[in-house]
Structure 1
Amino acid sequence: MTASSNAASYFVDRHRQERPDKIAFREAAGKQRSLSYGQLAKDSDLIAGALRSAGIAREARVAMLVLDTIEFPQIFWGALKSGVVPVPLNTLLATPVYEAILRDSRASALFVSVELWPVVKAAAQIVPELKQIVVVGGEAPEGTISMAEFMADADPLQAVTCSADETAFWLYSSGSTGLPKGVRHVHGALRATAETYGAQVLQIRETDVVFSVAKLFFAYGLGNAMTFPMAVGATTILFHDRPTPDVVLDILKSERPTIFCGVPTLYAATLAKLEVGAKPDAPLRCCISAGEALPKDVGRKWRDLWGVDILDGVGSTEMLHIFLSNAPGDVTYGTSGVAVPGYQLRLADEAGDEVAQGEIGELLVRGDSAAEGYWNQRDKSRATFEGEWTRTGDKYERDAQGRYIYCGRTDDMFKVSGIWLSPFEVEQALVSHPSVLEAAVVAVRDGEGLEKPKAHIVLKEGDASPELAAELKAFVKEKIGKWKYPRWVEFAEDLPKTATGKIQRFKLREKDEGGRL
């Protein structure tokens, strides 16, 4: 990594000569547009020039409420070329949250997909810092300008020179509670993740075709579907809508990706679909999972059906991508694997001291992709970023082989009869039952004020009944131990989740506390 480098020069501009006609991005399911590496280089130059002409100053923020279409990379890399800081936003949020983020980031401009304008319109019109609103993929409503008009008279602008340590972009982390936090990343972090996880775990190459269900506004999706493929000149399949199991299976069949990037819930739901039909013919060579720990039963079933392992890993918005993972040819389901080359890990107790093998501690990580910190949240920055180390908030133990076993979030763990209980361990046991699709376990106080586990269950087959609840309790007892079984079982149509698909256990706790058992 050079001392002075704009990330756009590495990921975009070097392809002008190396592979200008190679397809970088191809849209699936209806839109069917594509974008070559050469065209992306030209378009991002024009976006950079248009931002400069619009008076958007270097280091100013530009919000991106943009679906996974070919305009996303055009805007993102164009902003980096101009020295402007793009801020991709979650496309699944509500108007008040967008208002809070636009005010917090003090964005000077907003790029918004025409489909998303109705939900952000009220917020965008009252935030005084916004100088420009550019509508993507359609005609511009009053008070906005279309992307075509924005670029029409622009002079191309080559990537400005900057340091690898200069702020490049922000991502807003969803968290499980409260408003999102602005996470600031530098130019060098993008290449760091591509050279660690992308090159050394995925072993991605130019001939690969990548499909990620995680969208580009997620740190996970940004690496999967943009920086990793672009680092080697591969092709990405973009899908702008919700990735249901039926849609995913259709894309795997029609677009024929070689790398598939999913999340545990979708893998489980897709398997449920495949149990009643034949798998499509897709040339998958690698599948990865993140977001939440992958239940071992889901991984094994997928491997048995597809002949390809799922590489379960752990990453975060703060670290930009995965830093702890299983690897090709070295997969142990039920674990998160080992440190990705280039990262160091440690497990610490509440006093900050390293724990012994087999004991549970909070996971801390050190690596070059770590964020600079949170925007306007100094206390949270100091609590999360401790020198070179970043606290993850995840509880793990390390086995004799050096593999890391997920035990839950720091605020999800609780004691039963004086012994620490991992909700995830109970959930993993529950989802291995043939009737269970999803499970979430939380602590509930009994009549004596003692905490005991309660399971919230989404079924994939069978009827919710007292008999099935009793069967599930017995199943857990036999699977992982008598004291770990859920004292109560509640069946539900679905579980509350964040926009990233993580289960919001705090909402289940609040619900259970409201109706004390």
Structure 2
Amino acid sequence: MAIGTDAAGEFNAAVDLIDHNLTAGRGQKPAVIDRSGAHSYQELSDNINRFANALKQLGIQQEQRIILCLNDTVDFPICFLGAIKAGIIPVPINTRFTAKDYAFILDDSSAVALIVSDDLLAGFESHLKSHPALRHVIVSGSNSAGHDSLSDMIAGQKPEFEPARTMRDAMCFWLYTSGTTGMPKGTVHLHGSMRATAELYAKETVGIREDDVTFSAAKLFFAYGLGNGLSFPFSVGATAILLDGPPTPDAVCNILRNQAPTIFYGVPTLFGMLLASGLLPKPGEHRLRFCTSAGEALPAELLARWQEQVGVDILDGIGSTEMLHIFLSNRPGDVRPGSTGKPVKGYDIRLTDDDGHPVKPGEMGALEISGPSSGLMYWNRREKSLETFQGPWTRAGDKYRQDEDGYYIYCGRTDDMLKVGGIYVSPFEVEAALIEHEAVLEAAVVGKADADKLIKPKAVIVAKEKNFDADALGMELKQFVKDRLAAFKYPRWIEFVDELPKTATGKIQRFKLREPE
């Protein structure tokens, strides 16, 4: 059946991604390489089935939700695909969220089980008993802290499982994304969506192959990383390298040199860090065919420096949690520096003005996308769902223009949201944290470009007192925010002013605080 058709059809995404590899004779081929070594497609399939059996033994029903707060190890695809095979809804969440975020998601999703890496359990312990729907806590790793052990649970199950009878257009998994209020929103995705992104982007647009070895610095809980490190390699029988720790320049360059990936997926901030590290392998010291970038616009200067030092292209693209993966991209042999490329086959793009009408050629407009991987809705967010998912069109929240050759050029956000290292950051959330400090009277947060032209948060502060040490208070406020929010949200710069620009009704005019581009 063609991707994107209206026919629903019986279809299970986990079966679709794994079983064809066994039929094709790839059972002993490495599917995943993580810190514990290589795991074959047969081993992965067996453990997916064991986990599905374990969920059913616990009494978890079809379409009930389970939260996955897992590091990037083989346990992630086992749990993610095992749940899907059983018709249960896995909800991977950001491992860098705060306890407050985790508590909100557990309540919002009404999750009946939490599967969590042992080193991440601390973010849940303080509120585990406050969620009425939550009945099971299962820990991945050697320290289960009195909870059920994932490895023990899997070991006691059979390696065969009859998949749930699910439909292509049935609810399959959720991914949470942050909104303008700073609280996450659960995007509901369907069983057919991972197949669509694999066929149209991974295979058709960038040309992933069976002999590829992929490595994604973006983690599996991101929509970007989920495709890069799971659905794309599994769709062709390739091998995925997983890094469970942070993608530091040391760790990334060690993998590029010693584990020989052929495709590397990153974000512009990381590419800038790698270039500055002096650790990158030179041409002839790696096996990369190409790299991809998403999450924020890739500056042309970064691309040129990467091409010079590493000798391969970075294919810049844009995707979203709502669309599951990249829908607008540069291609091998067709890279336009400073652009996000052209639409991925199977996706339609339009740019609209404030009234929803198409803009004239060359003019800037709001980006809207129509394609087969669009999310169904935001869970418990009807008003926001209606605003974002408009019939066949999904509003991205980005401003673009199309040049005379048909390439799309990024122009900024349609709201005040910032993208920092590929992750949305709400200025309102950072401002709220700053205001909690006893020395702060008012705060406004805007985006500012760093030396590599990548956006980071900048705070403009009105202090309560007139006489203070600006440098000392600035350092204190940065740490103050780090202690309250996920670390990537802290303001990199702090400027002190006597007053903030405001409208007649008292609203802060953030656009007056932004530096001209």
User: Residue by residue, what CA displacement relative to the aligned partner does 1:88-121 show, whole Å, maximum 9, x if unpaired?
Assistant: 0110011111011001001011111111111211
Question: Contact between 1:53 and 1:154, CA under 8 Å: does it hold in 2?
Answer: no
User: Residue by residue, what CA displacement relative to the aligned partner does 1:261-313 show, whole Å, maximum 9, x if unpaired?
Assistant: 00000001111113899678111001000000001100011011122110000
Question: Contact between 2:478 and 2:490, CA under 8 Å: does it hold in 1?
Answer: no
SS at match of 1:198: helix
Task: Structure 2: state its 5+ residue gaps.
Answer: 2-7, 418-445, 462-476, 502-512
Q: Does 1:61 align with 2:61?
A: no
Question: Contact between 1:431 and 1:439, CA under 8 Å: does it hold in 2?
Answer: no
Equivalent residue runs for 1:197-276 within 5 Å: 197-274=201-278
Q: Does 1:3 align with 2:9?
A: yes
SS at match of 1:243: coil
Give the aligned partner of residue 25 of structure 1. Answer: 32
Structure 2 counterpart of 1:150, from 137, 149, 153: 153
- TM normalised by structure 2 equals 0.81
Give the aligned partner of residue 14 of structure 1. Answer: 20
Give the aligned partner of residue 145 of structure 2. Answer: 141
CA distance in 2 between partners of 1:509 and 1:400 (Å): 40
Of stretches 387-396 and 298-307 in structure 1, the one that deviates more from structure 2 is: 298-307
Structure 1 counterpart of 2:389, from 382, 385, 388: 385
Give the aligned partner of residue 418 of structure 1. Answer: none
Which amino acid is the alignment partner of residue 322 of structure 1?
I
Which amino acid is the alignment partner of residue 232 of structure 2?
F
User: Residue by residue, what CA displacement relative to the aligned partner does 1:338-364 show, whole Å, maximum 9, x if unpaired?
Assistant: 101110000000000000111111000
Give the aligned partner of residue 473 of structure 2. Answer: none
Which amino acid is the alignment partner of residue 299 of structure 1?
L
Question: Contact between 2:459 and 2:493, CA under 8 Å: does it hold in 1?
Answer: no
Structure 2 counterpart of 1:294, from 281, 292, 298: 298
What CA RMSD, in Å, does the superposition of the two structures yield over aligned residues?
3.1
Question: Contact between 1:174 and 1:500, CA under 8 Å: does it hold in 2?
Answer: no
Question: Contact between 1:393 and 1:410, CA under 8 Å: does it hold in 2?
Answer: yes
Structure 1 counterpart of 2:53, from 38, 49, 55: 49
Q: Does 1:129 align with 2:98?
A: no
Q: Does 1:319 align with 2:323?
A: yes
Q: Does 1:96 align with 2:103?
A: no
Shift of 1:130: 1.0
CA distance 1:396–1:510, change in 2 (3 Å): farther
SS at match of 1:395: strand
Equivalent residue runs for 1:369-408 within 5 Å: 369-408=373-412
CA distance 1:412–1:205, change in 2 (3 Å): same
CA distance in 2 between partners of 1:500 and 1:310 (Å): 27
CA distance 1:111–1:439, change in 2 (3 Å): closer
Question: Contact between 1:359 and 1:398, CA under 8 Å: does it hold in 2?
Answer: yes
Give the aligned partner of residue 172 of structure 1. Answer: 176
Of stretches 297-306 and 210-219 in structure 1, the one that deviates more from structure 2 is: 297-306
Shift of 1:176: 5.8
Q: How many aligned residue pairs are there? A: 452
CA distance in 1 between partners of 2:103 and 2:478 (Å): 31
Q: Does 1:79 align with 2:86?
A: no
CA distance 1:439–1:357, change in 2 (3 Å): same
What is the aligned-residue identity percentage?
Answer: 44
Shift of 1:368: 0.3
Which amino acid is the alignment partner of residue 364 of structure 2?
I
Task: Structure 1: state its 5+ residue gaps.
Answer: 414-422, 446-491
User: Residue by residue, what CA displacement relative to the aligned partner does 1:126-146 show, whole Å, maximum 9, x if unpaired?
Assistant: 21211111111113222x210
Question: Contact between 2:331 and 2:341, CA under 8 Å: does it hold in 1?
Answer: yes
CA distance in 2 between partners of 1:307 and 1:157 (Å): 46
User: Residue by residue, what CA displacement relative to the aligned partner does 1:134-170 show, whole Å, maximum 9, x if unpaired?
Assistant: 111113222x210123224334422112110000000
CA distance 1:163–1:500, change in 2 (3 Å): farther
Which amino acid is the alignment partner of residue 5 of structure 1?
F
